[in-house]
């Protein structure tokens, strides 16, 4: 007696089940490339809008003011009289100008606000002193704080 293997019935829709993962992969690649394209366009707009006097942050975190630009490089002033030259692609973002700086703020007109402003000025420490925490100086309540105690390194029998 011979046994013959009969083909099993097909599950149907074999072509569709193969196409769904392929469509998902193509869709993910398209969305990722679209996001990268938008980021490149935003970076290109940032670099194109650089002008002398613009405050920027580089990709490495350095803050400076644009002094000069050319085809490839931007000259930034990072401190008074200190100029550096960076590649335009290193400019990460532009810092928007603040409308009101603390120096231009309105003077305190109310007596209570003026009193608070003078109290703050009186409470500020002198510039030549160095605040070292737990240095054994008197605290605000008049007590001297003890030095921290270390745990024992061994036990005695």
Condensed to tens digits (0 to 9), the pLDDT of residues 31-58 reads: 999 999 998 898 888 888 888 998 999 9
N-term to C-term CA, the chain: 90
In angstroms, the Cα distances linking 86 to 46, 61, 77 are 15, 12, 11
Q: What confidence score (pLDDT) does residue 10 get?
A: 54
How many whole angstroms separate alpha carbon 90 and alpha carbon 66? 13
- Compute the CA torsion angle 115, 118, 120, 123 (nearest 10 deg): -120
User: Which of residues 153 and 108 earns the better pLDDT score?
Assistant: 153
- Hey, which bits of 6-153 come out as E strands? 55-58, 63-69, 73-79, 82-87, 91-94
Is the pLDDT reported for residue 101 higher than 50? Answer: no
User: Which of residues 145 and 42 earns the better pLDDT score?
Assistant: 42
Q: What confidence score (pLDDT) does residue 31 get?
A: 92
Percentage above 90 pLDDT, the chain: 26
Is the pLDDT reported for residue 105 higher than 50? Answer: no
Average pLDDT over residues 78-105: 78
Query: Which letter does DSSP use for residue 52 in this model?
Result: T
Residue 136 CB-half CA count within 13 A: 1
- Compute the CA torsion angle 23, 25, 30, 31 (nearest 10 deg): 110
Tokens of 119: 């109290």
Q: What confidence score (pLDDT) does residue 44 get?
A: 86
């Amino acid at each position: 007696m011979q046994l013959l293997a009969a083909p099993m019935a097909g599950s149907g829709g074999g072509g569709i089940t193969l196409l769904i993962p392929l469509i998902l992969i193509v869709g993910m690649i398209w969305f990722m490339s679209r996001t990268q394209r938008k980021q490149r366009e935003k970076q290109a707009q940032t670099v194109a809008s650089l002008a002398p006097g613009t405050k920027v942050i580089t990709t490495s975190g350095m803050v400076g003011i644009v002094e000069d630009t050319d085809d490839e490089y931007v000259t930034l002033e990072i401190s008074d009289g200190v100029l550096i030259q960076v590649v335009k692609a290193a400019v990460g973002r532009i810092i928007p100008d603040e409308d009101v700086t603390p120096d231009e703020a309105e003077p305190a007109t109310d007596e209570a606000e003026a009193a608070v402003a003078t109290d703050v000025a009186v409470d500020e420490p002198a510039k030549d002193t160095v605040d070292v925490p737990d240095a054994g100086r008197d605290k605000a309540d008049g007590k001297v704080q003890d030095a921290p105690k270390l745990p024992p390194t061994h036990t005695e029998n």
